């Protein structure tokens, strides 16, 4: 019996020291000291031994049990230490690793161009005004001297919301609203979204953006318009830029002009961008028609002014030369990332 117990103890002791996880050690504990472990069974059977042998056998088995319990306790402390170490290794944070990059957003190229234009005009003393995108026929047309039969009022160009109400087709109604709201002098720009019944293609979008400008003061002439826009064109496209005015027609200005800027690509010699002419069309403008002043309640004998309207998409296109207007609205990061703000 004594050899068998020795073997049992040796086997149990090496099983205990072989366990490297607390789960494995628990299995060993059940196998060595559990209710059906050989040692437990033998302890239970002591009563059946001859009385003379019981004391020695019981002590012997009990000593083994006590030693194995002690070995289990020691081992379990050791294994707990091992496991803690492993966990710390696995969960370790290496503070020297580079951080995971957090992509940061930027300003859309249209927003950049709008803000640049705003900065230029605010630097000249203009204020920025906004108006509603759902506009009354009165401000979108009538107050701008656009007569009833004008083709721009027809279904083909204008998106009508209801009788007398449309999505504004330009930012010019904000000049009419501004004049009603305040007394001259006026130095204002009005950026915003406009809508037209257009099928999207490389150069058309049913929704686009404009910046309207309006100046009303004493003694304002076409020369003021020209000087102002030459300054703006140079700020936008570079110091060497020249401008030229071509006669045009808008119902709300008299005279009306279209403004060209000398081609920033070829410098005026003629290239693909300016279609060989050396000039690029930039905006429409003119001297505010006296009718428009009168409708707004300004006395055209005292006040005069100039106005202009430009497409923000067009300015962005002229600055950056992308091939298709629709790129501006598709939010493809491969496009937008080319214009870091
Ligand atoms: N509203 C015009 C358009 O959408 C642009 C424009 C032309 C605005 C001449 C003006 C102006 O203020 O004077 O095409």
The more confident residue out of 188 and 203 is 188
Q: Which residues lie closer than 8 Å to 64 by C-beta, 6 or more apart?
A: 5, 8, 9, 39
Judged on CB neighbours under 10 Å (0-12, 13-18, 19+), 207 is: middle
**Ligand 1 centre from 84 Cα, in Å?**
75
Last residue of a domain, one of 60, 90, 120: 90
Pair (11, 160) in one structural domain: no
d(CA 310, CA 328): 17
**What pLDDT is stored for residue 268 in this prediction?**
82
Farthest CA pair distance, the chain: 138
* 95 in a structural domain: no
pLDDT at 249: 94
* Distance of CA 250 from the midpoint of ligand 1 (Å): 7
Ligand 1, atom 9: closest residue by C-alpha:
285
Q: Does the Cβ of 310 fall within 6 Å of ligand 1?
A: no
How high does pLDDT run on average in the chain? 92
Sheet holding 165-167: strands in order across? 134-136, 165-167, 160-162
- Is the same domain home to 72 and 114? no
Q: How many domains does the chain have?
A: 2
The minimum-distance atom of ligand 1 relative to the CA of 171 is: 1
Q: What is the CATH number of the domain that holds 124?
A: 3.30.930.10
End position of a domain, from candidates 90, 118, 141: 90
Q: Which residues pair with 284 in a beta bridge?
A: 258, 309
Domain that includes residue 146, residue range: 109-336
pLDDT in tens, 222-275: 999 999 999 999 999 888 888 999 999 999 999 999 999 888 778 888 888 788
**73 plus 163 within the same structural domain:** no
Structure tokens at 262: 């000398």
For ligand 1, whether the C-beta of 309 sits within 6 Å is yes
Pair (83, 122) in one structural domain: no
Q: State the Cα–Cα distance between residues 167 and 158, nearest whole angstrom.
A: 7
For strands 186-195 and 127-128, give the pairing. Answer: parallel
pTM greater than the 0.85 cutoff = no
Q: Which among 159, 179, 156 is positioned nearest to 170, based on CA atoms?
A: 159
Q: By alpha-carbon position, which residue is closest to atom 7 of ligand 1?
A: 284
Specify if 100 maps to a domain: no
């Amino acid at each position: 019996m004594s050899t068998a117990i020795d073997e049992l103890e040796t086997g149990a002791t090496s099983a205990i020291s072989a366990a490297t996880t607390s789960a494995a050690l628990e299995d060993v504990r059940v196998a060595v000291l559990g209710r059906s472990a050989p040692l437990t069974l033998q302890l239970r059977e002591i009563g059946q031994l001859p009385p003379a042998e019981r004391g020695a056998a019981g002590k012997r088995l009990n000593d083994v049990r006590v030693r194995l319990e002690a070995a289990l306790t020691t081992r379990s402390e050791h294994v707990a230490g091992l496991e803690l170490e492993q966990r710390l290794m696995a969960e370790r944070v290496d503070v020297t690793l580079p951080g995971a990059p957090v992509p940061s957003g930027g300003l859309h190229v249209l927003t950049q161009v709008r803000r640049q234009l705003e900065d230029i005009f605010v630097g000249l003393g203009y204020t920025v005004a906004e108006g509603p995108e759902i506009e009354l026929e009165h401000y979108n047309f009538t107050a701008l001297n656009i007569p009833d039969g004008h083709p721009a009022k027809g279904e083909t160009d204008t998106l009508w919301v209801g009788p007398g109400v449309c999505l504004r087709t330009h930012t010019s109604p904000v000049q009419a609203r501004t004049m009603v709201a305040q007394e001259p002098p006026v130095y204002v720009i009005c950026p915003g979204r406009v809508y037209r019944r257009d099928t999207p293609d490389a150069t058309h979008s049913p929704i686009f953006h404009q910046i309207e400008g309006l100046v009303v003061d004493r003694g304002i002439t076409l020369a003021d318009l020209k000087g102002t826009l030459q300054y703006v064109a140079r700020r936008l496209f570079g110091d060497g830029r020249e401008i030229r005015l071509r006669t045009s027609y808008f119902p709300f200005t008299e005279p009306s002009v279209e403004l060209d800027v000398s081609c920033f690509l070829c410098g005026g010699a003629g290239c693909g961008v300016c279609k060989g002419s050396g000039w690029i069309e930039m905006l429409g403008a003119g001297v505010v028609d006296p009718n428009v002043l009168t409708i707004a309640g300004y006395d055209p004998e005292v006040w005069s002014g100039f106005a202009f309207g430009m497409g923000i998409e067009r300015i962005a296109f002229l600055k950056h030369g992308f091939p298709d207007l629709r790129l501006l609205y598709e939010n493809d990061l491969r496009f937008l990332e080319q214009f870091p703000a």
